[in-house]
A and B are shown apart, each in its own frame.
Chain A
Amino acid sequence: MFYRIKKWLSTPARYTAMGMVMFFSLGPLYWTFTTSLKPMGAEYKLPIELWPSEVTFQAYREVVTELDFLINIRNSFIVSSVVTVVSVILAGLSAYAIARLRFKYKVQSLLFLQLGGMIPPVVTIAPTFTILRSMGLLRTLPGLIVPMIIYNVPLGTWLLASYFANLPFELDDAAKVDGYRPFQIFYKVILPIASPGLFSAGVFAFIFSWGQFILANTVFMGVSEIQTVPVAIQNFSANFRTQWTWISAGIILSLIPIILLVIIFQRWVIRGMTAGAVKH
Chain B
Amino acid sequence: MSKVRVDNLVKEFGDVTAINHTNRVFNDGIMTVLVGPSGCGKTTLMRTIAGLEKPTSGSVQIGDKYVTDVPPWDRNVAMIFQSYALYPHMSVYENIAFPLKARSVSGSDIDRRVKETANFLQITDLLDREPKELSGGQMQRVAVGRAVVRSPEVFLMDEPLSNLDAKLRVHMRAELKQLQRELEVTTIYVTHDQEEAMTLSDDLMVIDEGNVMQEGSPSEVYRNPDNTFVARFIGSPPMNLIECSCNHQDDTIRTQYFNYPLPDDLKPVIQKLPAENKFLLGVRPEDINVESEEKNKTIKTRLTLIEPQGKEVLLTLKVGDIELKCLTYPDTEIPEVGEDLWVSFSDLRLHFFDIDNGESY
Contacts and interface: CB of A to CB of B under 8 A. Distances in A.
Interface of A: 168, 170-171, 173-181, 184, 189, 192-193, 273-280
Given A178-B98, A179-B99, A192-B89, A275 B132 contact: yes
A178 B89 contact: no
Contacts of B345: none
Given A173-B79, A174-B81, A177-B50, A277 B102 contact: no
Interface in B52-107: 52, 71-75, 77-79, 81-89, 98-99, 102-103
Given A177-B50, A178-B146, A276-B131, A170 B83 contact: yes
B130 interface: yes
Given A173-B79, A176-B52, A180-B102, A277 B73 contact: no
Nearest to A176: B72
With a 10 A CB-CB cut-off, give which of A170, A177, A189, A193 has the most chain B CB atoms: A177
Contacts of B8: none
Interface in B4-61: 47, 50-52
Contacts of B133: 276
A118 to B, nearest CB: 31
B136 interface: yes
B134 interface: yes
Nearest to B52: A173
Contact of B84 (A180, A181, A189, A278): A278
Contacts of B87: 171, 174-175, 189, 193, 277
A80 B85 CA distance: 37
Main secondary structure of the interface of A (DSSP, over half): loop
A174 B79 contact: yes
A240 B92 CA distance: 69
Given A180-B102, A279-B136, A170 B85 contact: yes
How many chain B residues sit at the interface, stated as a range, is 35 or more
Nearest to B74: A179
Contacts of B88: 193, 273-277
A184 B73 CA distance: 11
A187 to B, nearest CB: 12
Nearest to B134: A276
B217 to A, nearest CB: 29
Given A173-B52, A276-B134, A279-B136, A180 B83 contact: no
B139 interface: yes
A278 B83 contact: yes
A171 B72 CA distance: 14
Contacts of A276: 86, 88, 130-134, 139
Contacts of A168: 83, 85
Contacts of A179: 73-74, 99, 102-103
Contacts of A275: 88, 132
A170 B47 CA distance: 12
6 contacts: A173-B72, A174-B87, A176-B72, A179-B73, A193-B88, A276-B131
B163 interface: yes
A41 B99 CA distance: 70
Contact of A173 (B81, B131, B132, B163): B81
Contact of A277 (B52, B82, B86, B99): B86
Nearest to B139: A279
Nearest to A194: B89
A177 B52 contact: yes
A274 B90 CA distance: 11
A101 to B, nearest CB: 13
Contacts of A189: 87
Contact of B83 (A177, A178, A181, A279): A279
Contact of B89 (A180, A181, A193, A280): A193
Contacts of A280: 83, 163
Nearest to B50: A177
Contacts of B102: 178-180, 184
A280 B103 CA distance: 30
Q: Please provide the 7 A-B residue pairs with the shortest distance between their CB atoms, ordered closest to farther.
A: A276-B132, A179-B102, A276-B131, A278-B83, A170-B85, A178-B99, A174-B85
Contact of A177 (B79, B84, B89, B134): B79
Contacts of B134: 276
B81 A170 contact: yes
With a 10 A CB-CB cut-off, give which of A174, A175, A181, A277 has the most chain B CB atoms: A174
